[in-house]
Amino acid sequence: MDEAKSRRRGETPSVLVVGSLALDDIETPFGAVSEAVGGAAYYAATAASLYAPVRVVAAVGTDFPKKHLDDLAGRGIDLEGVEIKEGLTFRWSGRYDNDMSRAQTLRTEVNVFADFRPKIPDSYRDSQYVFLANIDPELQLTVMDQLDGPKLVAADTMNFWISNKRDAVVEVLKRVDVSLLNDAELRQLCGIPGLVSAAKCVLDMGPKVAIIKKGEHGAVMFTRSSHFSAPSYPLEEVRDPTGAGDSFAGALMGYLASQDDVSETALRRAIVHGSVVASFAVADFGASRLERLRREEIASRYGKMKEIVSFEPE
């Protein structure tokens, strides 16, 4: 992890994203949408595709509008790993109240995702950068079993799995390079209120890198020997936080793949890219702003992020 890997000329490695594609009903104080395309894999793949080739493993029902798959394909995203199964697509419905930091889940219909067993197509097995989005940790383990020595695997999870399949979550953390959690999940997993001690507890489980997403408070990274803190990009208006964490993860992985570099320097840059892309993603409902995002817009906010944290030596 510590040595900068030299970039292969002209051949950017792919990011493999394994997770859900979904149809979401979302209410926030700014409005509502129904049957918006979403799911962790949708946000993460769309974000990653701004930087690198992307491959997706997911399952949708026959009700999933073809338009969304066409949109993904239109970004050059490889959909060989997306199964279209008889039945309905995963549906999530949630509401954000005035305090936009936490979603209240109104309804979850797992539908065809209930018996999703991720099958990695042969053409995906050599994937170097792998993002295991929030799915059953036992499935995350089976994904890793199907890969030929990836360079970097990052895993997300959620409170439900930490409560109900804690051992499998711990087993996943034992095997991945990067743990991606939000601060509430981190505290739940470790039972420690202090973020620094909780991050150490996660590193003790196995990953070399613990990245903690803190919403409007930014993101932090801990390794055994270093600590990095990135602010969030200051936004006057957050219209819909859905997908912020997955957009962050997708951009992070996409950036690392684009550089083919997993050094500390690259990871710090990748976290800033993740924060910037997430700051766009939350500016409109569902993935609509993310879908319109251009690299020049990212570059401009990236530069502002440097100004935001800048201070002179003592």
Kindly state the smallest distance separating residue 291's Cβ from a second copy, in Å. Answer: 22
Count of alpha carbons within 13 Å of 22, Cβ hemisphere only? 31
Residue with smaller CB distance to a second copy, 10 or 193: 193
Residue with smaller CB distance to a second copy, 91 or 273: 273
Kindly state the smallest distance separating residue 216's Cβ from a second copy, in Å. Answer: 6
Residue with smaller CB distance to a second copy, 83 or 302: 302
- Give the C-alpha separation, 26 to 312, whole Å: 43
Kindly state the smallest distance separating residue 313's Cβ from a second copy, in Å. Answer: 7
Kindly state the smallest distance separating residue 198's Cβ from a second copy, in Å. Answer: 10
Residue ranges that bind a second copy, judged by CB under 8 A: 98-101, 193-197, 200, 214, 216-218, 220, 226-231, 234-238, 265, 268-269, 271-272, 299, 302-303, 306-314
Kindly state the smallest distance separating residue 222's Cβ from a second copy, in Å. Answer: 8
Given a contact cutoff of 8 angstroms between Cβ atoms, the answer to whether 90 and 23 are in contact is yes
Residue with smaller CB distance to a second copy, 67 or 102: 102
Given a contact cutoff of 8 angstroms between Cβ atoms, the answer to whether 68 and 78 are in contact is no
Kindly state the smallest distance separating residue 111's Cβ from a second copy, in Å. Answer: 33
Residue with smaller CB distance to a second copy, 82 or 298: 298
Residue with smaller CB distance to a second copy, 86 or 237: 237
Residue with smaller CB distance to a second copy, 15 or 100: 100
Kindly state the smallest distance separating residue 26's Cβ from a second copy, in Å. Answer: 17
